[in-house]
Structure 1
Amino acid sequence: MTLSLPQNSLSQSYREILIGVGEDPDREGLLDTPARAAKAMQYLCHGYEQSVDEIVNGALFASDNDEMVIVDDIELYSLCEHHLLPFIGKAHVAYIPTGKVLGLSKIARIVDMFARRLQIQENLTREIAEAVQRVTQAAGVAVVIEAQHMCMMMRGVEKQNSTMNTSVMLGAFRESSNTRQEFLQLIGRSK
């Protein structure tokens, strides 16, 4: 799925939104807002223009390591597909290599690619895990995301201190409670 609206069409849509909320899009402070908002939305959703294969770009390296690799506290910014409001948090990603390791920055880039799409956190967590599994052919992949959702904080129930946690465990992380527990302890989320 790609954003198919050209910049000027998206700008016009934001102009209509301004009118719809009772604003005057021709007042000085709002004259350039539709174009700026359109450009911002295209940036916030640029994950649609990316693919995992392009991001990884061959950065798989032979390795004898068969121990858990963890990249944690990867900040993420996404937009809730229900209200188009941000959710902000961090992802913790682990995998157990089977002959190849993935370039370190590629994990964060995979997180960003999926986060920069209209999302729900549950799907985001699964998409990241499945992409890392497909690319690395790891013995197991684990992803935990913890995020705060503006749709719950700014509107609706207005709960300022709530955090949503989601996890997906594949392969060895799903099959072995010891492996899963080790991961959760290493990221400091074990109960």
Structure 2
Amino acid sequence: MDSREQEPAQQHETATHPTDDFDEEKARRGARLLLEAAGRDPSSAGLSETWSRRVPDMFETLTEGARSESKPIMRTFDAETDGLIVKTGIPLYSMCEHHMLPFQGVAHVAYRPGDQMVGLSKLIRYVRWQSRQLTTQETLTRDIAAGLADELDAHGVVVELTATHMCEVMRGIETETETTTREYVGTISEADRTQFRESVRRHIDGPSSR
């Protein structure tokens, strides 16, 4: 397993910046041209709706993380604890910006709240929204951590992603491996880091370890 731990971010800056534009007509033209490049007839019965509807609709959904209009509302409430809050095992699906192929895996998120906290389901929704864009695993890890730090005004955030990349499975080395990236934002004590690692380990080991 390839593991990459990134240096703590000094500022809460995301590497990607949401927009509000998706050009369906360009998506249709592009999908049609790809079919033609592959020697297929876009007007054939099996492909006529592939380029005209299905691929543009799919691509709009899979890149909604690049549009601020799709961003989940992070309603907060008064913090009931000042301890570390950890959510493990969040399903992760994203798109590699290099080959436009999926990478998928799991996200583990933790934060130490300031004055406000958020429901655990909002963490899942936020990870899902950020993941739906053309990106890299390293950039996505940083974007989720920095974004949550700002959204929650948290004292500290930890994000760890472990994913398998289809651009390595279906092409290139054609090997199914996992890559792990981790990002720290804000103040995360050594005790917090240990608690986070133990929570992730328990998730990986399963119920028998608890």
TM-score higher than 0.5: yes
Partner of 2:139: 123
Equivalent residue for 1:41? Answer: 59
Partner of 2:73: 56
| CA distances 1:107-158 after superposition (whole Å, capped 9, x unpaired) | 1121112111111000101111111111222221100000110001100000
2:60 alignment partner AA: Q
SS of 1:83 mapped into structure 2: coil
Cα drift, residue 170 of structure 1: 2.1
Give the distance between the partners of 2:168 and 2:134, measured in 1 at CA. Answer: 16
The answer to whether the aligner puts 1:89 opposite 2:102 as a matched pair is no
Q: Deviations over 1:31-84 (max 9, x none)?
A: 1110211111111111122369x5234x11112401111111111111100000
Partner Cα distance (1:44, 1:187) in 2? 27
Is 1:143 aligned with 2:159? yes
- Give distance in 1, aligned partners of 2:50 and 2:185: 44
Say which structure, 1 or 2, has more relative contact order (CA 8 Å, 6+ apart): 2
Maintained 8 Å contact 1:65/1:99:
no
Question: Percent of aligned positions with the same letter in both sequences?
Answer: 35
Aligned residues: 185
Q: How does 1:13-32 map to 2 (within 5 A)?
A: 13-32=30-49
Partner of 2:88: 72
Across the aligned residues of Structure 1 and Structure 2, the Cα RMSD in angstroms comes to: 2.0
Length-normalised TM-score, structure 1: 0.89
Instruction: Tell me the CA shift for residue 98 of structure 1.
Output: 2.1
Q: Match for residue 173 of structure 2?
A: 157
- The alpha-carbon distance between structure 1 residues 123 and 36, as it changes in their structure 2 partners (threshold 3 A), is same
- Report the Cα offset of residue 20 of structure 1: 0.3
Which position in structure 1 is the counterpart of 2:187?
172
The TM-score, its normalising length taken from structure 2, stands at: 0.81
Structure 2: which 5+ runs fail to align? 1-17, 205-210
| Deviation of the 1:177 alpha carbon | 2.4
